[in-house]
Amino acid sequence: MSSPSVAGRTAAVVGVAAGLLGGIFGVGGGLIIVPGLVSFAGMDRRLAHGTSLAATLPIATASLLTYIATGNVDWPLAVFLAVGAIGGAFVGTHLLQIIPKRALTVLFIAVVIATAFRLLLTDSTDGRGDLTAVIAVGLVLVGFITGTLAGLLGIGGGIVMVPAMVVLLDEIPVVAKGTSVAVIVPTAIMGTVRNRKKANADLRVAAVVGGFGVVSAVVGGLIANQLSAQASNIMFAALLVFVAATQILSLRAESRAAQPAAR
């Protein structure tokens, strides 16, 4: 672990970046927090994941309040997504014991890249239609998949939920982001409580990251409210490609690590 002063400065910078990312895209910020704490603060990856989730709570809360103030949260969608995400956090843990991680990662990469291209082809959105029983069940399923992937790959829920709402329900991008953040808040609370019991979160570092990320999260939420649907989709597609690239690099690193063992 780095010295306290270096770790503190790293946590502050990571917090500002994560808050801006979370505010603009409606994601938790773990894409920046986890690698930032591991690479620059020398934190163990397992501890970094738990700390990231705890830091996400104030960042996501600040983002949510901003999206609420601008009227960009679809609460009915948020409820069904949250039910699935919370269920996925529990049941998904057991399912992951029988699902090959590498195969699921490859499938996730393919879906993410396909979704990115689909977003680029979406010129405008008029907002979702009526919420039917079929759509409600689909939202619970999307939430469940979100919780499962978050547990296995460390992927923030917004990466799955936002494009799902835009592509499948024709939801307005900024509303999809606000709805995603509304789901992330209770998920972060539950995950942090569980991680705290297992001593899998450094709450002091999380407080620094989350504290510095609050202001930039508000700024990011205001920026998101000003983006056109097309610009928002292009930016989110770029984020998805970045996520896919990080997962590809992760697979390559795991393959190289496994080669010496096989000899």
Residue with tokens 């894409």: 31
- Is the pLDDT at 6 greater than 60? The verdict is no
The tens digit of pLDDT for each residue in 178-227 reads 999 999 888 888 888 877 887 888 899 999 999 999 999 999 999 999 99
- Is the pLDDT at 261 greater than 70? The verdict is no
Quick one: pLDDT at residue 207? 93
| Residue of 194, 98, 81 whose CA lies nearest to 147 | 81
The tens digit of pLDDT for each residue in 9-66 reads 888 899 999 999 899 999 878 788 888 888 777 788 778 888 888 899 999 999 999 9
For the ranges 40-44, 94-98, 170-174, the one whose mean pLDDT is highest: 170-174
Q: Per 3-state DSSP, what percentage of the chain is helix, strand, and coil (rounded to 5)?
A: 80, 0, 20
Quick one: pLDDT at residue 94? 63
Mean pLDDT, range 225-240, rounded to an integer: 90
| Residue of 117, 137, 140, 126 whose CA lies nearest to 169 | 126
Would the pTM count as exceeding 0.85? no
- Report the mean per-residue pLDDT for the chain: 84
